[in-house]
Structure 1
């Protein structure tokens, strides 16, 4: 598992500062996908869980922290370097197993297929 995948980029989030992004709206490169339901900030293990609401029938998705390209506290938005389709096609989120290393490895393999860091807003 590539540790950088599970870290926020240095230009996006300063690990020395406190920021709670739960409730922020989430924007893929091609539009809104939902809002942050949960976020972690541990080095090498950071991710966000997005509640997609009606976009994909109320499902949640887990995204490695490296997919975040920008956090805008004034607008309360998180921007991602992935399209809606890439996010929709990710391995299905499972509330019971998402913290297990096997799921994280599968998710990591999926997101590692895309260029690291993706586009920038």
Structure 2
């Protein structure tokens, strides 16, 4: 089941349709989590795969685009509405094949959808 909104950029996020975000720095509300390794849209579930680098060594995170609060093209930075801990606690991303697994994507969407709403700030 696709949860409305969690898989779509909000209109005020600053994202332009078709914009390439690979390489952009990704920041949670309380600090940087990594950079965009790739973006995907399988089953209508748009998401970013974020390489967390040394923060969570050897692990990437899958983030639905509905938690993106700002895209700063000039600064090449994406801001999220969640904390580093919330990203880390999300259903673990293990392999690239999971981006094609509708059940896994649904579990990720359910997790992010249940997070408490926050004041949104843009970059």
- TM-score normalised over the length of structure 2: 0.87
1:38: which partner in 2?
A: 38
Structure 1 vs Structure 2 CA RMSD: 2.0
User: What is the aligned residue count?
Assistant: 119
Distance (whole Å) between structure 1 residues aligned to residue 107 and residue 43 of structure 2: 19
Distance (whole Å) between structure 2 residues aligned to residue 39 and residue 83 of structure 1: 20
* Equivalent residues in 2 for 1:1-121, closer than 5 Å: 1-12=2-13, 13-15=15-17, 18-40=18-40, 44-95=44-95, 96-115=97-116, 119-121=120-122
State whether residues 82 and 118 of structure 1, in contact with CA within 8 Å, keep that contact through their aligned partners in structure 2.
Answer: no
Unmatched tracts of structure 2, length 5 or more = none
Distance change in 2, residues 1:7/1:44 (3 Å): farther
Unmatched tracts of structure 1, length 5 or more = none
Q: CA deviation at 1:52?
A: 0.1
Q: CA deviation at 1:10?
A: 0.9
